[in-house]
């Protein structure tokens, strides 16, 4: 089974970006951790980061064409307002798990609303980098 790990805007800055909120691990660290976990679970992961909404849409569409088993998606700030990404998540046949490093419900009020959540399989928010691993376990359990 192939799982797509999609990282949205500004997540390329992880490690340097507001470490008190997002932690000191880099995106490369997170992707490496996921590859290790995936090996244990006999899953294949492919990671992709983009700051552009269109490229994230294209990655979801590509996943659909390739028949991937699921997607772990941190849409970054697009979480809060991208109807286009929400529509793509609703359109794809595979489960999408929404992940946030920070707990979006304890921060500024505008972060408490996710337009992605109603069409995601589930959401993991507030556990830092570990959240991605939890999402991988969740997908693994879904796939049976
Ligand atoms: C985030 C939370 C979003 O509100 C923010 O815009 C991000 C990161 C998180 O992982 O906690 O860029 O998705």
ipTM score over 0.85, yes or no = yes
Place of tokens 């992940």: 99
Q: How far apart are the first and last CA of the chain?
A: 11
Domain boundaries in the chain? 2-143
User: Given pLDDT bands bounded at 50, 70 and 90, which one contains residue 114?
Assistant: very high
Atom of ligand 1 nearest to the CA of 80: 4
Q: Is 101 in the pocket of ligand 1 (CB under 6 A)?
A: yes
User: Given pLDDT bands bounded at 50, 70 and 90, which one contains residue 144?
Assistant: confident
CATH class belonging to 2-143: alpha beta
Active site includes 100?
yes
What pLDDT, in 10s, does the model give residues 53-81? Answer: 999 999 999 999 999 999 999 999 999 99
Strands ordered across the beta sheet of 70-74: 44-49, 2-7, 70-74, 96-100, 122-125
Q: Could you tell me the pTM of the whole model?
A: 0.97
Active site includes 22?
yes
Atom of ligand 1 nearest to the CA of 21: 11
Q: Are 122 and 138 in contact (CB under 8 A)?
A: yes
């Amino acid at each position: 089974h192939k799982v797509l790990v999609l990282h949205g805007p500004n997540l390329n800055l992880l490690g340097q970006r507001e470490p008190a909120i997002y932690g000191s691990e880099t995106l490369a660290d997170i992707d490496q951790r996921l590859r290790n976990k995936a090996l244990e679970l006999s899953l294949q992961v492919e990671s992709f980061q983009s700051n552009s909404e269109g490229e994230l849409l294209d990655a979801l569409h590509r996943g659909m064409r390739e028949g991937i088993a699921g997607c772990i998606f941190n849409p970054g700030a697009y979480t809060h307002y991208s109807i286009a990404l929400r529509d793509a998540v609703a359109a794809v046949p595979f489960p999408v798990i929404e992940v946030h490093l920070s707990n979006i419900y304890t921060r500024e009020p505008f972060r408490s609303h996710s337009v992605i959540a109603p069409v995601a399989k589930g959401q993991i928010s507030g556990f830092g980098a570990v959240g991605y691993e939890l999402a991988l376990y969740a997908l693994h359990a879904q796939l049976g």
